Chains A and B, each alone.
Chain A
């Protein structure tokens, strides 16, 4: 029997939060670009949001159980897609991240984020016990590491890292044992110095980013410039902000990619601490609302899907906001719903489509 989704169960509260955040993003994109050669960018972003909403509607109609049935196939398609990118991908700024699809470029790794949510949700659902064995953990790790490695190869460290929280949050909810969790932290703690020794194998730009993160003051006009300019933008905004369209760091182009990865810096400068509070609280509201959806999911499968989405969005917000204030290195992780970008905006809406999908089926049997 086919489940019938219930339109009255559509999460209007969630959509309200998404709408406000997206609107603030569009406004800040307008403010950042209207006096530059990129004027009019906000219309493109609105178009991406429109496309995203459409995709969200479509994906919410397909029962997530159906999607999870196809998890192995989806996983395979995702991996092949990533391989295709590596072979015939389209290079931009020294990284192969895109494939050309009917005149548009598509970032396959964004699709992989959706795929990993569904694949891991299915895996965790299949565990069925209250405890995750070490064996399970290794399998989850393997499922995650393969696409990560392919994305790292592009190279795109940021997106590769985004897959990690899906696995971690999933494992946590699936009943990871505290001792495993503790071992995990220890392993990571040991891997950091090992990785540090391996840093010579990283791409020069990645080495530079790490170096810059550790010693931003040493190269104020090189890579540390971005973080420093971002901090100046945020700090100089003060409590009340400089006003819409009046942030000098933003308007004069001192803030790097101010309409995209550093849009929060641009907003912090023009809207001040107050603006930042509003935005971060909106995101917190969004996250809590997503968790609420997970709590009210019909089954564990639904919960894993929702929490996969929540983990990715939360990770994005946390890493992006930390980067803007210099607490984390520049990894190229955009702020969901606010940063300009086609693939990333589409991903967020598709991911929210999965959430709607689960929500609208919570009373359906």
Chain B
């Protein structure tokens, strides 16, 4: 036995016992610790465990399609994939970022910016780094599941615009719900929801929006889906049918293709809008994914205001088209005899100021019919002076000017019908009598929209029935304003408007065979450069108007066209547009419409359209 060892020492039993007690104390305190977590706080931690384990994945419901009056698809939805980036594991993320940038073709700065923007979001919330994945992108994600596990695919629904820019200003665009809307309707929307932002998409958002479903999935610690717990199916949005006629719309779009302005084609009997164009416009597909902030700013700042729907938002002087209103006022008020004539030497002097006629040589002695047919300004200066501003303003307002037409679109503007009361209210001074002379030929402070023009002309032509223009085919509760106009007045005015086209008037070049095509030209000078810029109307040039309808009595179609920023007259610019649309209307009615060249891949009839909105479930694939 070694020298250091021995039995001579007593084992310290006391201290060993103390060690035992200490051990018991430690175990008891550990058990207290476990008790706190497992019994006292177990509910809290059970919640946390569930939140770890279960992820809710929305199954996006497609928005309802927009169909034309014959059920042809104008806009629909299609399922597409978004690429999500899982941010649970920062280290792994950092390692794979260069691979992701290369594989998906995302610029490093872009990706970094997106990551920075989402910095304050919870880490388990993945971010969308590529909203519209191409097939190559999807293949990249699928083939790199093992080495780039931070990528995931999510099925979403996107808007498809098979006809490109067609009807874009009217349809509007969709986008993520804004924080303001979210705050106002916390029950209705959730972050990231796609809602209509303008146009019909906004107006009928509640009708066409579907109800998103929800899938509960179990995920593991790196956020990968392990299995599905349950599904609540998405309810696709219902399609809505519009009054738009795809054929007429196509013609109208082609007519306006390289111009600036707007077209409204309406059935004057019921207010159904058959075609509606505003140019320049935008490509709604730019918004269907996620519009980059730069492009959005560019669209908003564009002096040509592509986001404006000029058919209801451009307010400018109607020019000679307003002579229809003044004529109606003259005949209906009986303040002036119908046989009133005036001599036109090419100008007239009122209140010490010279007012010119469009025809420098003068029209000679003209009656009402000829004054309308040849658009004699001097005749209407005289009529205007005799009527006075309040009578003119009363008839203009009664024919729907100066107030919204009630079309089912957001953002319609009212225009201005000046009156003594108006000038006192707005400018705090008395009405200048000379201003009445300008207003009488549709100039001065008077402004209207193309939509109001179409409705006004339709109202006069059908005896004072002011229909409510609308785009939804089965719109309920339509309001028709009635402002009865005597048969004599209607007859006289429509005869004159027929003469404009068919009796060598200002629209003589627009004559159509076998169609009682009537209309009125107008060329409005712009009021001021300042006003131009606020309306986004560009440099001071003319606005050419033409409002036409057919047939002369009980018209079936009325078309208002506005061509802006032109040196030409309304008869030369807007006139042919209206004529071509009216012609197309009759050609179609008579079954001889030439087939519309279409850029669309998809003009499917209704039956196919309803198939197109069958819900496709959106969820990451395992």
Contact = CB atoms under 8 A, between A and B. Distances in A.
Interface of A: 65, 68-69, 122, 125-126, 128, 169, 172-173, 175, 220-222, 229, 231-239, 248-249, 252-254, 268, 272-273, 276-277, 280-281, 283-284, 287-288, 291, 294-295, 297-301, 303, 307, 310, 314, 318, 321-322, 325, 327
B34 interface: yes
3 closest pairs, A vs B, by CB?
A: A235-B45, A236-B49, A253-B221
Contact of A122 (B4, B20, B49, B218): B4
Contact of B49 (A248, A283, A303): A248
Interface string B2-19: 101111010111011001
B220 A252 contact: yes
B5 A125 contact: yes
Contact of B5 (A238, A284, A299, A318): A299
Given A232-B48, A288-B20, A295 B13 contact: yes
A300 B10 CA distance: 7
A273 B42 CA distance: 10
Nearest to A240: B38
Contact of A232 (B9, B52, B226): B52
Interface in B26-80: 26-27, 30-31, 33-39, 41-42, 44-46, 48-50, 52-53
A252 B90 contact: no
22 contacts: A122-B4, A169-B19, A173-B16, A229-B52, A235-B42, A235-B45, A235-B48, A235-B49, A236-B48, A238-B39, A248-B53, A248-B218, A252-B220, A254-B52, A273-B34, A276-B38, A277-B31, A280-B27, A280-B30, A291-B20, A295-B13, A310-B19
**Secondary structure type dominating chain A contacts:** helix
B45 A283 contact: no
Given A236-B49, A238-B39, A307-B19, 9 more contacts: A173-B15, A175-B12, A229-B52, A252-B219, A277-B31, A291-B23, A295-B11, A301-B5, A325-B36
Contact of A234 (B20, B45, B221): B45
Interface of B: 1-2, 4-7, 9, 11-13, 15-16, 19-20, 23-24, 26-27, 30-31, 33-39, 41-42, 44-46, 48-50, 52-53, 88-90, 123, 218-222, 226
B592 to A, nearest CB: 69
A254 B88 CA distance: 12
Contacts of A295: 11, 13, 16
A239 B90 CA distance: 34
Contacts of A291: 16, 19-20, 23
Given A288-B20, A295-B16, A322-B30, A128 B46 contact: no
B382 to A, nearest CB: 83
A322 to B, nearest CB: 7
Nearest to A174: B12
Contact of A252 (B20, B35, B218): B218
Contacts of B37: 231, 234-235, 325
A237 to B, nearest CB: 6
Contacts of A248: 49-50, 52-53, 218
A184 B556 CA distance: 105
B146 to A, nearest CB: 12
B42 A239 contact: yes
Given A65-B1, A252-B218, A300-B9, A284 B48 contact: no
A284 B27 CA distance: 7
Contacts of B7: 298-299
B15 A238 contact: no
Nearest to B88: A221
Nearest to B7: A299
A220 B123 contact: yes
A298 B7 CA distance: 7
B5 A65 contact: yes
A252 B53 contact: yes
B33 A325 contact: yes
Nearest to B87: A221
A182 to B, nearest CB: 16
Contacts of B33: 321-322, 325, 327
Given A232-B52, A239-B38, A276 B26 contact: no
A80 to B, nearest CB: 23
Contacts of A169: 19
A169 B15 CA distance: 10
A219 to B, nearest CB: 10
Contacts of A327: 33
Nearest to A311: B19
A318 B52 contact: no
